Structure 1
Amino acid sequence: MARNLGNVATAPFPVRPCGFHELIRDEAWGARDCVCGLGSRARRSQGVHPRARIAVILSGTFQARSSQGEMLVGPGAFLLGNAAAEYEYRHVDDGGDRSLVFDYGEALLEEVGRSLGVHVRGARSFGQVAVPASPGSVRAVALAHEALRYGGREALREAALLGAEVVLSAQNGGVHAVAEPSATQVRQVARMLRYIEVHSAGDCSLDALAALAGLSRFHFLRIFQKQTGQTPRQYVIATRLRVAATTLRTTRLPVTQVSLEAGFGDLSHFTTSFTQAFGTSPRAYRLRHMPRAAH
């Protein structure tokens, strides 16, 4: 039987009831999981955005309208909202929708804009209702999928920053004024790779690594990803998993201790990440790879 790809129930995301689910909230930015089960017979949704907002549409479709225009948005689109601006959403079919919604303080958007060479107009940051799905935004959408599925502040922050990059670059004609990373910046990334190798169990957050590199968070994220093909968080997780796998193969430490010493904050996150990467649980991996005692 063919799957109903438009139905939110089929999407591989955390199971949550319909509504807004706050994931992160602070002065600089916020993240919410929007689960909607409304259909064509539902009333139009109306309101006012409290802060600048970018919603990454992950499944489903609906019509969005604001003072910036009107658009039918679907998976891969970036729905935009300016601070204090009114919006109206209307469902034209059934099946619901799912989106990861980011709110931005002015300072964070301005930080991203400076790095891109794009002027951000304060409360009127966005000049269109949405940025359509495109090949150039696939990586940012995929990161939003990953952040929603597996959670974590660092994953959500990276998704928020890369989403802002897609939107601000699109408003600048799809281009930005940032040059290729300099030799100095490449060395800074190399230095951070060595730092992560030694300190992967410690604080390797985006804030910490960017500060050590002497760069803004967003600029560090961009040049790190360009040079390594991964975001800082993805690289740190891969390093921690590599350390954990080696420890499982060579010691008899309890799995919980292996998780903590590798830098994972909780056993559940470790088990999920490890199973996804190796195709088996940590305990099963150990049983398969531990050297057998000599007879």
Structure 2
Amino acid sequence: MAKIALDLERALVRRARDAAAGTTEPRTLARGRGWEVADVLCTCGPGDHAFEEHHEAFCIALVAAGAFEYRSETGRALMTPGAVMLGHAGECFECGHRHRAGDRCIAFRYRPEYFERLFADAGGAGPAPAFGAARIEPSQALAPFVAAASTGATAASGLDRLPGLAWDEMAQALAIRVVRLTGIVPRTDAKRVAPAALARVIETVRQIEARPDGEFGLDTLAEDAGLSPYHFLRTFERATGVTPHQYVLRSRLRAAAQRLADAPGKIVDVAFDCGFADLSNFNRAFRAEFGIAPRAYRARWQS
């Protein structure tokens, strides 16, 4: 059983042992300007009364474990692992567990003004409409998001410590994928990067290469480039072939490799100086990038 489902089963066992009422426990994983991600573990079951709630923000919740019934103004749907629960700001909804206890979701929430801007940046016209559906069934298009978010929720320090993906980038990419799957934004396959935007990407690359250990969140990079976060993410990836987070990671790894090859010092100090928060994450990322452990890499160059 996957760890994210195993954690839910353990919570249900504790609830039964203590004869406690079912609860919904959200745990914030990450947040930015206008968005947040929460790991929501629910131990409610058939004996617990369902009550009406309302979405305070646009919600895209990835169902990671368990099953429940979802009723909203848009419709009714059974939520199962791999499905995506949808809700728009101000919408009333109800979740029930008439037949089975417990579920766990990774919920991405977007403030209305932030989602409106994202909707417009993605090509939408006018105010962002409701999604038009209560659920997106388990699909190949969204499976990578469910898997990555589930892994991030159970990682010791969150997805920002896993190579290749960051919560801020995932929040952007997930929202765009969902609005296109639901048809409220038309898909465009234009690949050209405008010269002015390309110049801004080049300047961003220069900043990262000059100080790879710096703090380079998506919002900060986009603001420095004078672009909206969505346009910056799309433009940067088209121009460089990787996301900003992936580029920063590889820049840090290159800097670390150079330090290991030509300078003395402890490997842990090299990792911290190059922007990594812990040694185990550095070792995993380094091996994945160069196919060899940092210590062996240094020995190869200094032998």
With the shorter chain as reference, the TM-score category is 0.7 to 0.9
1:259 and 1:229 mapped to 2: Cα distance? 25
Match of 1:126 in 2: 131
TM-score (norm 2): 0.75
Matched, 1:135 2:146: no
Superposition pairs for residues 26-45 of structure 1, below 5 Å? 28-44=34-50
Q: Report if the CA contact (8 A) 2:46-2:101 is conserved.
A: no
Question: 1:221 pairs with 233, 236, 241, which one?
Answer: 233
The structural deviation recorded for 1:249 is 4.1
2:280 and 2:206 mapped to 1: Cα distance? 26
Q: Report if the CA contact (8 A) 1:54-1:81 is conserved.
A: yes
The structural deviation recorded for 1:34 is 0.8
Measured at CA, do residues 118 and 202 of structure 1 come closer, stay the same or move farther in structure 2, by a change above 3 Å?
same
Match of 1:14 in 2: none
Superposition pairs for residues 31-180 of structure 1, below 5 Å? 31-44=37-50, 46-91=52-97, 94=100, 96-119=102-125, 121=127, 125-145=130-150, 147-148=152-153, 149=155, 150-152=158-160, 155-172=166-183, 175-177=186-188, 179-180=190-191
Match of 1:248 in 2: 260
1:70 and 1:172 mapped to 2: Cα distance? 19
Using the TM superposition, name which of 85-94 and 211-220 deviates more.
Answer: 85-94
Match of 1:202 in 2: 214
The structural deviation recorded for 1:157 is 1.7
Letter of the 2:183 partner, please give it: N
Task: Please state whether the residue corresponding to 2:175 is helix, strand or coil.
Answer: helix
Matched, 1:285 2:294: yes
Encode CA deviations 1:206-261: one digit per residue, 9 max, x unaligned: 12322343321111112333444532112212321332243234333233431232
Measured at CA, do residues 239 and 288 of structure 1 come closer, stay the same or move farther in structure 2, by a change above 3 Å?
closer
Letter of the 2:299 partner, please give it: M
Q: Report if the CA contact (8 A) 2:4-2:64 is conserved.
A: no
Match of 2:7 in 1: 9
CA RMSD of aligned residues (A): 3.6
TM-score (norm 1): 0.77
2:33 and 2:285 mapped to 1: Cα distance? 33
The structural deviation recorded for 1:83 is 2.0
Q: Report if the CA contact (8 A) 2:124-2:186 is conserved.
A: no
Task: Please state whether the residue corresponding to 1:290 is helix, strand or coil.
Answer: helix
1:141 and 1:226 mapped to 2: Cα distance? 24
Encode CA deviations 1:129-160: one digit per residue, 9 max, x unaligned: 12333333344445434543333499222222
Task: Please state whether the residue corresponding to 1:7 is helix, strand or coil.
Answer: helix
Letter of the 1:53 partner, please give it: C
Q: Report if the CA contact (8 A) 2:193-2:239 is conserved.
A: no
How many residues are treated as equivalent by the alignment?
281
Percent of pairs with identical residues: 29
Unaligned runs of 5+ in 1: 12-16
1:85 and 1:233 mapped to 2: Cα distance? 33
Match of 1:272 in 2: 281
2:105 and 2:167 mapped to 1: Cα distance? 13
Q: Report if the CA contact (8 A) 2:260-2:297 is conserved.
A: no
Measured at CA, do residues 78 and 196 of structure 1 come closer, stay the same or move farther in structure 2, by a change above 3 Å?
same
Letter of the 1:87 partner, please give it: F
Using the TM superposition, name which of 208-217 and 159-168 deviates more.
Answer: 208-217
Unaligned runs of 5+ in 2: 10-22
Q: Report if the CA contact (8 A) 2:84-2:137 is conserved.
A: yes
The structural deviation recorded for 1:195 is 3.8
Q: Which runs of 4+ in 1 moved over 6 A?
A: none
